[in-house]
Amino acid sequence: MKRISLTCYFTLLLAPFAQPELTVAGDQPSDFTRPHFQVARPPINNKILPDRAMHADLSTFADEAWILPVLSSRLSPGPVTYRALDMPGLRPFFLVGEDPHSLAWLRQRAAELQKMGAAGLAIEVADIEALARIRAAAPGITILPVNGNDIATRLQIEHYPVLITATSLEQ
């Protein structure tokens, strides 16, 4: 067996300590990454949720004409049978179109929808004027134009207007 010199022995023994510790970029932001982390991190909010429903007016962020028309081929106006759901934590929302039945439904249930904090998805809208008519039927409630095909498939619904809550699907 060959003898290893004392210098080589100490070099091999101390080699692992010569390397700096591996640091992941997210562990300690440098001056280069700090602005990105500050933007990406939401503020911590330890407040208790308010007792009343809150509505966000997302319609003011941009001109929505570019997204129109919105057509949902898997949905059409018609009757919806009540069905119980078990989706804890789901915030109430509803699907409507620009048809007369949807507009009448919105006018009748606007106060109830606002009280529960429901948001609306206009899933059949031809143009900006039709979207304005839908919103006028339920003032103070956020209603956004969105294709409803994915929702129709996932919830196995064929018709609208429909209200979807954590516990039920109803017209």
Interval 13-55: pLDDT, tens: 555 556 555 555 555 555 555 555 555 545 555 555 555 555 5
CA-CA-CA-CA torsion sign (28, 32, 33, 36): positive
pLDDT of residue 6: 55
Percent pLDDT > 90 in the chain is 61
Own/partner long-range contacts of 86-89 (Cβ < 8 Å, ≥24 apart): 86/166, 86/167, 87/166, 87/167, 88/166, 89/166
Mean pLDDT of 144-149: 96
Domain boundaries, the chain: 6-40, 58-170
Mean pLDDT of 144-162: 96
Q: How far apart are CA 103 and CA 157, in angstroms?
A: 19
Helix 128-137 to helix 100-116 angle, to the nearest 10 degrees?
A: 50
Note the pTM of the prediction, 2 decimals: 0.64
Q: 3-state class of 46 per DSSP?
A: coil
Question: What fold characterizes domain 58-170?
Answer: Glutaredoxin (3.40.30)
What is the mean pLDDT of the segment spanning 92-108? 97
Residue 26, pLDDT score: 54
**Lowest-pLDDT range of 5-19, 41-55, 108-122:** 41-55
